[in-house]
Amino acid sequence: MTGTPLLAVERLQKAFSGVVAVNNVSMGVGSGMIHGLIGPNGSGKTTLVNLMTGVYRLDGGAVTFAGERMDGLSLFQVARRGLVRTFQNPHIFKRLTVRENVVVGAHRHFLSGFWKIVTNLGSARAEEVAMIQRTDQILMQLGLAERADELAVDLPYGMQRMVDVARAMMCRPRMIILDEPAAGLSEVELEHLARVLRTLRDAGVSILLIEHHLDFLLGLVDLVTVLDYGETIFEGTPAEVRRDERVIEAYLGAANART
């Protein structure tokens, strides 16, 4: 990669009660890229994302996003700077419609404002109207427009994940980190997710994609980082990753052995 990456982590370190979850990990995600992060269960992927986005405190190392240090900031402060993430399980507000679930992304920390919008759509102020318009634009982009007024819990699982992504988009992110967004999706939903991710990338949003579904991931990403036991064991293109002995042993081999 040439130039400074948009997201750079250096020598990240994290242990839980003495058990090392992330050990000396350095990696960069470039602007305008879809970057994959893979590794066996428990290899430290989610912990790494939690360190990148202010959910966990680092034991050591540095996280820099768009030239600014993120370590020490909260999840919300990191999101305000343009780095947002979704969680492994979709966060759905059960009693809210799809549109309301997405609007809340802009108002997560101003719930009074949010409830005012939800309960007073008719008398919303100009900025609130703009927010609804932005919401509808994102719903359209992610293929959710037709379901906007349904309760989000009534949607199929794959679409609930899209609601999560749509909500993350409300922050106008420069980068989205998606933690296993394809888990439990049907083939049709996978294709839709792939289209959405390419659309976001083409619109200038960089993506860090954590995914177990290897064929799905390798078909989408520009570069892949592979973790094993909390350490980076490989970084390269999808073609290189398929050929690397360590990766085959740690990951692909294990996957093949199960089948």
What is the spatial distance between Cα 74 and Cα 209, in angstroms, rounded to a whole number?
Answer: 21
Structure tokens at 171: 């922050």
- Residue of 6, 7, 21, 139 interacting with ligand ADP (CB under 6 A): 21
Provide the binding-site residues for Mg ion, judged by CB under 5 A. Answer: 45-46
Beta carbons of 8 and 182 less than 8 angstroms apart:
no
Q: Select the span of 45-53, 75-83, 90-98, 183-191 touching ligand ADP (CB under 6 A).
A: 45-53
Query: How near is the Cβ of 182 to ligand ADP at its closest, in Å?
Result: 14
Residue 165 interacts with which of Mg ion, ligand ADP, none, CB < 5 to 8 Å by class? none
Per-residue x/- track, 170-199, ligand ADP (CB under 6 A)? ------------------------------
Q: What are the structure tokens assigned to 157, written together? A: 């699982």
Q: Which does 157 bind (CB under 5 to 8 A by kind): Mg ion, ligand ADP, none?
A: none
| Cα–Cα dist 37/180, whole Å | 10
Work out what residue 47 binds among Mg ion, ligand ADP, none; the CB cut-off runs from 5 to 8 Å by kind.
ligand ADP
User: Is the distance from CB of 142 to CB of 153 less than 8 angstroms?
Assistant: no
Q: Residue 54: which region, alpha, beta or left (left: phi > 0; alpha: psi -120 to 50)? A: left
Closest residue by Cα to residue 138 from 108, 102, 114: 102
Helix (H, G, I), strand (E, B) or coil at 86: coil
Shorter beta-carbon distance to ligand ADP: residue 43 or 86: 43
Contact between 232 and ligand ADP per CB under 6 A: no
Q: For Mg ion, give the closer residue by CB, 4 or 88.
A: 88
The residue ranges that bind ligand ADP (CB under 6 A) are 16, 21, 39, 41-47
